[in-house]
Amino acid sequence: MRKFFQEIKADLKFKTAGPGQKLSEPSRVPKEKPKAEAAPKPRQAPTDEAQMAAAAALARMELKSKAKLPPSQEAIKAQGLQSHKPSTAQPGACFCLLQDLGSLPTEGAAAPSVSGVYFICPLTGAVIRRDEKEKHLREAIQAYFSVDPVAASIMEIHTFNRDREKARAGVETMAKYLDNIYLHPEEEKYRKIKLQNKVFQERISCLEGTHRFFQAVGFETKTLPVPGQETPEEYYVLKEEMLSRLEDLKDYKEQLLSSEPVRAQLDRQLCLFQPSPAAARFELPNDFYNLTAEEIKREQRLRTEAVEKASMLRTRAMREKEEQREMRKYNYTLLRVRFPDGYILQGTFYARESLSALYSFVREALREDWLPFELLGPGGLKLTDESLALNECGLVPSALLTLAWDTAVMEDIQAAGEEQAPSPLKPELLSRVQTL
């Protein structure tokens, strides 16, 4: 490069004298008589290599002079996720950051594969977002009090008391109260429950929904005198009219013991897509990664334990246990199944659901659900043990699977000469196929 610029400089000096003019002589005249100078050779154009080198040098100079371009949205997201990891003090930091980034007008930004995780309320049939689930269930159960107050109060007891052991102990004690009345209706002592009783306070009064239950099954609150005590106390007393409805009390007891928590059903958000080369690309919303405050504390504890164990010689069992912990980080997973004709079936699952749920999901989409098939995971691994959980198969937080028909069965069908439908999928699914 330096040689090239020297050549240009020499060329400029050579051309400083105009036509018909003599070149200026140096101020010092040499002692010896200068030899006659040969006629200058014509200048040659710079070689291709020199021109390319000059262009590269100029390009580098221009780049240095320009200010740095702003980073892409993906780079911002990556940086934000590193510097805004959720903590116990700020669990929603990632979500807010991604929301802000999502509002930036960026060309070519990929849309999320699904807009979030949704559930179906078993009482109203409404589709609700994950973060609105508990509120909606409370409102639905509250509204059900006008239909069946006993059933609604039992729903409250089983659904909103998180400590399952405490709830079980309370329910069994309440059932015992009702059973005593049913078996000994003539004994007045069984029809009264002292509210300040230690057992009632420790097992029943502390649970949500229990007081509504007693009122719904026919108890009323009364203040009664206590023998040997100056101050009266409050009791639940069974109304007289309920003595003629003892079979109802027995039914209420059975309902109380046999009921389960009201659980919103995960909405699969079933979608069918046209064949697409983008089938393996997933853009998941924050719902698939969000951790609760309790989960964040657990992750911090696990990381601390991992650091402590880093210097220890880990056995295979220890490594497998840590891998299982890693897989349990995800609550949901988005799965796609590609059919031999290229169509792609998509659904949302719990990460801990069994592989059998995925097989059932695929069968329900087929015209002929008896057709045998296998699902192949990433790398072509056959997923045959349907008792395994999806996260145990490495199918979290998203995965693309391939469906393979049973070759022998398909050959038999073709040999029979029966007319085959253009696609094995149900017509109602094909009628609303989308573009990925």
Stretch 212-230: mean pLDDT: 94
At 44, list the tokens. 């040659």
| 28: pLDDT strictly greater than 50 | no
Residues 365 and 345: beta-carbon distance below 8 Å = yes
According to the model, what pLDDT value does residue 287 have? 84
| 72: pLDDT strictly greater than 60 | no
According to the model, what pLDDT value does residue 17 have? 44
CA 9, 12, 16, 22 dihedral sign is: positive
C-alpha angle 116-118-120 in degrees, rounded to nearest 5: 170
According to the model, what pLDDT value does residue 288 have? 84
Domains detected in the chain: 118-265 (1.20.58.2190), 326-435 (3.10.20.90)
Partners of 193 in beta bridges:
236
| 380: pLDDT strictly greater than 70 | yes
| 298: pLDDT strictly greater than 80 | no
According to the model, what pLDDT value does residue 410 have? 84
How far apart are the C-alpha atoms of 87 and 299, rounded to whole Å? 10
According to the model, what pLDDT value does residue 63 have? 42
How far apart are the C-alpha atoms of 202 and 198, rounded to whole Å? 6
CA 293, 299, 305, 308 dihedral sign is: negative
At 92, list the tokens. 């929603």
Exposed (0-12), middle (13-18) or buried (19+): which is 224, by Cβ within 10 Å? exposed
Q: How confident is the model at residue 421 (pLDDT cuts 50, 70, 90)?
A: confident
Identify the helix (H) or strand (E) that includes residue 223: strand 219-224
Stretch 298-306: mean pLDDT: 66
Q: Pick the most confident of 48-57, 80-89, 325-334, 361-370.
A: 361-370
Residues 361 and 347: beta-carbon distance below 8 Å = yes
141-167 core/surface letters (b: 16 or more CB in 10 A; e: else): beebbeeeebbbbbbbbbbbbeeeeeb
233-268 core/surface letters (b: 16 or more CB in 10 A; e: else): eebbbbeeebeeeeeebeebbebbeeeeebebebbb
Q: Which residue has the tokens 């080369």?
A: 277
| 314: pLDDT strictly greater than 90 | no
Flag the least confident range among 61-65, 143-147, 374-378.
61-65
According to the model, what pLDDT value does residue 218 have? 97
According to the model, what pLDDT value does residue 54 have? 54
Q: How confident is the model at residue 319 (pLDDT cuts 50, 70, 90)?
A: low
Q: What is the pLDDT of residues 148-161, one digit of tens each?
A: 999 999 999 999 99
Q: How confident is the model at residue 136 (pLDDT cuts 50, 70, 90)?
A: very high
Of residues 318 and 240, more confidently modeled: 240
- How many distinct helices (H) and strands (E) make up the chain? 15, 12
How far apart are the C-alpha atoms of 403 and 184, rounded to whole Å? 63
User: Who contacts 174 (Cβ-Cβ below 8 Å, separation ≥6)?
Assistant: 204, 210, 213, 214, 256
| 41: pLDDT strictly greater than 90 | no
Q: How confident is the model at residue 187 (pLDDT cuts 50, 70, 90)?
A: very high
Of residues 411 and 122, more confidently modeled: 122
